[in-house]
Structure formats: structure tokens, C-alpha cells
Amino acid sequence: MNYNDFLKTKTYSCESVGFDVDYSELNQTLFPIQKDVVKIALKKGRMCLFTDTGTGKTRMQLQFAKSVFDHTHKPVLVVAYLAVVNQTKSEGLQMGIDVNICRTQHDVKPGINITKWCLLDYLTVMK
């Protein structure tokens, strides 16, 4: 085995399981780089956004969640720390995206729902 063949054995790929969106479907308040990141994440279907401080991770997360809801018509649940819940709802309002704060399963609505991670025991997966 030569070195190039060896390197080929070390490659890893993750097939895309998501869906495509057009840039026109993404919130106009996002910067072009944020739209690119969201578009790639939606296409991949599962992806972490390890972007730097101040790059708009919450806005990208909200757009990702909205696009998933628009595509599947199933509720989306965002799990966050306590201090982030209200911040995310506020950020959503600035973008024109409604974010529903949940404490129990009965609070879950169609669209984007957010809860504190410590309340997960009170929420179950909707079918």
C-alpha cells in the first residue's frame, strides 16, 4: 500500500440526509455567510455550528428550526440553558419568527418550541 492509498482509508464522509432550500426562503435579516451556513446544515441534515462568538449562532439556529418545521410540518424542540431561552425568543421576535416557551408537553405547539434542558423529564417526543 502506498501513502495515497493509506490516506484514502482515513477519509470519512457523512452522507446528506437533509433537504435543499433556496436563499430566497431564508430570513432576509441573515448575513450572506449565515445563509450559507444554514443552507449547508439543512442539506447535510445533521450538523453542529461551532462558529465564533458574535457570529449569529442563535439566528442561524432559529432559521434552521423554522426551515425544518416548514419542511416537515412537525414541531421543533430547541433545548437550551435557562438564560438562553428568553434570549432566543427575543431574537426570534426580531427576525419575525415565533418561538414558543415550553415547560410541559401540553405547552408544545406547531412551530418552534424551546425549553430549559432541566425540564426535559416533563416533555416527551411528539408523534
Looking up residue 78, the CATH number of its domain turns out to be: 3.40.50.300
Whether 36 has a pLDDT exceeding 60, the answer reads yes
Q: Is residue 96 part of a domain?
A: yes
In this predicted structure, what is the pLDDT of residue 125?
Answer: 53
Asked whether the beta carbons of 112 and 65 are under 8 A apart, the reply is yes
Structural domain range at position 55:
3-122
Whether 82 has a pLDDT exceeding 90, the answer reads no
37-55: pLDDT as tens digits: 999 999 999 888 899 999 9
Domain count for the chain = 1
Report how far residue 88's alpha carbon sits from residue 5's, in angstroms, rounded to the nearest whole number.
47
Q: Helix or strand or coil: residue 84?
A: helix
37 CB burial (10 A radius; 0-12, 13-18, 19+): buried
Alpha carbons within 13 A on the beta-carbon side of 81? 3
String of DSSP letters for 13-82: -----S----GGGS-TTS-HHHHHHHHHHHHHSS----PPTTS-HHHHHHHHHHHHHHHH-S-EEEEE-H
Strand partners, 44: none
Q: Is residue 100 part of a domain?
A: yes
Q: Is residue 127 part of a domain?
A: no
Confidence of residue 71 (pLDDT cuts 50, 70, 90): very high
Q: Is residue 59 part of a domain?
A: yes
Tell me the pTM. 0.85
